[in-house]
Chain A
């Protein structure tokens, strides 16, 4: 290797250090702005219900991206956690009289346990086999939801009271509900962000890049992956349980395999493996669904087409392509 080449590499070393520093600062500033935007969005003419739906799905996509983007695992059964948590949250609030935060916690907990079980069963499978096993397990949950008495089959659980948060904050007030959902979203987002940027996340990234090498360094890769799967399922549950409070219902849609597909779509559209990609992906899908709501099954066709076009033209997703363009121009 020539001396000149060494030189350019050393120079880029200094550059990289300053990049890393500014990265951290940019993230912090970004979070501040993001939280502010979410807080004032309802006053900018956006419907709170639309925003809350968006936040729930964005959280779902964040949780999914933790697995797909940072561990390289494609689950095709995440609807099971999303839907089951929403049933549990709806049931415990409506029938058992839980306060909203307890109902959401119960749903999240069930998703966590389910995630641990499914993760342990599926994790030894690779690639497409992993996706198939998670799909099969999720289909079992779907049939359970179809048959179990408390889920009310085709009708689902309807008319869930929004109740009072901690027993004294009235969530039937839309803005109270909105800030509750925002708080849940921020909590979930920070857990995922922290997990990605933790000693645990560091090894997950290593697993994504070279699993055998991680094993050869003495790590129990299976346990690490089950851990990541469980964490992802738990946050997915948090999103599903919260959605049940927002829409005051839990239905088969949330546990259907097409919901598992939707979150894959959101993550890929937004840019998998990017921190903010899933938010944009969820934004695109939720907005499309709202705009095209009157068009029936055409919604599926149109989102499908957009997906195909996106995959063909910008594979890294919206955020992935944007960061790449910024890098090229800087």
Chain B
């Protein structure tokens, strides 16, 4: 019942900031191969859960298992190398590198080239084709040589997804990938997430409920750091607590 069914299992995950519980006793299981959405009002603790799972924050208490392995004490970089890669809510690109170079930063990681300070950066050109493929997947092929800092906001988010995908992660955590995007960008990203979910697991924080209902197999609703309810979209829309706590607040 462990390992094989669930990519991720968090037990009693808790984070306290100066006496305030941002995340409190969260038990979260993410089924292998599924798209699992984490929703909830602003300040519910969704980003903090991401930070805990990827060890950008140390949990006050609780346990995290990734593929059955206890990663509660692992470092962020080590977790990424195991195949669990996150994106950030606040756009995280490398502004002074080109769009192509941004993706190559990720492609370079598994190659073992990184410590080679005596090699010319031309060796990285061998990744250009793969990087272009990833840029095409998110519709950025025409911007390959543009500095990432010059991209409009929505395209920065697309670039971030391309960079995350470049690691071909088994488990991908996306923090509000469509926030601030224009409508047509939202549908492109939503379609992209669906497409790349074929051979991986995705945990998604998302405010856009039509995206959530479109994509998610399972939805967990977080409120004030605690899980309010979990289920598929159908179950949730019929749940009076959810209606009041979440959908009633005008997010729909």
Q: Do the two chains belong together in a single complex? A: yes
The complex places the Cα of A199 from the Cα of B54 at a distance, in Å, of 26
Within 8 Å of chain B (Cβ to Cβ): is A297? no
B94 / chain A contacts, CB cutoff of 8 Å: 205-206, 209-210, 213
User: B117's contact among A12, A195, A216, by CB below 8 Å, is which?
Assistant: A195
Within 8 Å of chain A (Cβ to Cβ): is B246? no
User: B85's contact among A218, A220, A227, by CB below 8 Å, is which?
Assistant: A218
B128 to chain A, nearest CB (A): 12
The complex places the Cα of A9 from the Cα of B99 at a distance, in Å, of 12
Name the interface residues of B113-156: CB closer than 8 Å to any CB of A: 113-121, 123-124, 142-146, 150, 152, 154
Contact in complex: A197, B121 (CB < 8 Å) = yes
| A contacts with B, residue count (CB < 8 A) | 36
Contact in complex: B152, A1 (CB < 8 Å) = yes
User: B113's contact among A13, A199, A217, A218, by CB below 8 Å, is which?
Assistant: A199
User: A6's contact among B120, B142, B145, by CB below 8 Å, is which?
Assistant: B142
Within 8 Å of chain B (Cβ to Cβ): is A212? yes
The complex places the Cα of A214 from the Cα of B106 at a distance, in Å, of 8
A198 / chain B contacts, CB cutoff of 8 Å: 116-121
Name the interface residues of B23-82: CB closer than 8 Å to any CB of A: 54, 56, 75-78, 80-81
B189 to chain A, nearest CB (A): 14
- Interface mask (A107-139 → B, CB under 8 Å = 1, otherwise 0): 000000000000000000000000000000000
Contact in complex: B124, A213 (CB < 8 Å) = no
Contact in complex: B146, A218 (CB < 8 Å) = no
Within 8 Å of chain B (Cβ to Cβ): is A310? no
The complex places the Cα of A13 from the Cα of B151 at a distance, in Å, of 12
- Contacts A13-B146, A199-B113, A217-B167 given; indicate if A209 touches B106 (C-beta within 8 A): no
- Contacts A10-B142, A13-B142, A205-B97 given; indicate if A219 touches B115 (C-beta within 8 A): no
Most buried by B among A1, A20, A216, A224: A216
Within 8 Å of chain B (Cβ to Cβ): is A25? no
Name the interface residues of A189-204: CB closer than 8 Å to any CB of B: 191, 194-195, 197-203
Within 8 Å of chain A (Cβ to Cβ): is B190? no
A195 / chain B contacts, CB cutoff of 8 Å: 117-118
B59 to chain A, nearest CB (A): 18
Within 8 Å of chain B (Cβ to Cβ): is A231? yes
A126 to chain B, nearest CB (A): 15
User: A200's contact among B92, B115, B152, by CB below 8 Å, is which?
Assistant: B115
Within 8 Å of chain B (Cβ to Cβ): is A182? no
The complex places the Cα of A210 from the Cα of B56 at a distance, in Å, of 14
A301 to chain B, nearest CB (A): 37
User: B145's contact among A16, A200, A215, by CB below 8 Å, is which?
Assistant: A16
The complex places the Cα of A215 from the Cα of B143 at a distance, in Å, of 25
A12 / chain B contacts, CB cutoff of 8 Å: 146
The complex places the Cα of A216 from the Cα of B55 at a distance, in Å, of 10
Contact in complex: B85, A17 (CB < 8 Å) = no
B85 / chain A contacts, CB cutoff of 8 Å: 216-218
Contact in complex: B121, A216 (CB < 8 Å) = no
The complex places the Cα of A325 from the Cα of B167 at a distance, in Å, of 39
Within 8 Å of chain A (Cβ to Cβ): is B209? no
Main secondary structure of the interface of A (DSSP, over half): helix
| B contacts with A, residue count (CB < 8 A) | 49
User: B118's contact among A20, A194, A206, A216, by CB below 8 Å, is which?
Assistant: A194
Within 8 Å of chain A (Cβ to Cβ): is B207? no
Within 8 Å of chain A (Cβ to Cβ): is B95? yes
- Interface mask (B75-118 → A, CB under 8 Å = 1, otherwise 0): 11110110001111000111111100100111011110111111
The residue on A at minimum CB distance from B83 is: A218
- Contacts A13-B145, A199-B119, A205-B97 given; indicate if A216 touches B113 (C-beta within 8 A): no
B117 / chain A contacts, CB cutoff of 8 Å: 194-195, 198-201, 227, 231
The complex places the Cα of A295 from the Cα of B9 at a distance, in Å, of 71
A216 / chain B contacts, CB cutoff of 8 Å: 54, 56, 76, 80, 85-88, 92
The residue on B at minimum CB distance from A204 is: B117
A194 / chain B contacts, CB cutoff of 8 Å: 117-120
Contact in complex: A227, B105 (CB < 8 Å) = no
B111 / chain A contacts, CB cutoff of 8 Å: 199
Within 8 Å of chain B (Cβ to Cβ): is A38? no
Within 8 Å of chain A (Cβ to Cβ): is B182? yes
- Interface mask (A238-260 → B, CB under 8 Å = 1, otherwise 0): 00000000000000000000000
A149 to chain B, nearest CB (A): 37
B188 to chain A, nearest CB (A): 12
The residue on A at minimum CB distance from B118 is: A194
Contact in complex: A199, B96 (CB < 8 Å) = no
A220 / chain B contacts, CB cutoff of 8 Å: 75, 77
By a beta-carbon cutoff of 8 Å, the part of chain B in contact with chain A is: 54, 56, 75-78, 80-81, 85-88, 92-98, 101, 104-106, 108-111, 113-121, 123-124, 142-146, 150, 152, 154, 163, 167, 182
Q: List 15 A-B contacts (CB under 8 A).
A: A1-B152, A9-B146, A9-B150, A13-B144, A197-B120, A200-B115, A202-B121, A203-B105, A203-B108, A205-B96, A209-B96, A216-B56, A216-B87, A218-B85, A219-B109
Counting from the closest, the 5 A-B pairs by CB-CB distance are: A218-B80, A200-B117, A199-B113, A16-B145, A213-B92
Instruction: Other than A12-B146, A13-B146, A20-B145, give 14 A-B pairs with Cβ distance below 8 A.
Output: A10-B142, A10-B143, A16-B146, A17-B145, A200-B115, A201-B121, A205-B97, A209-B95, A213-B88, A213-B92, A215-B56, A216-B54, A218-B78, A219-B109
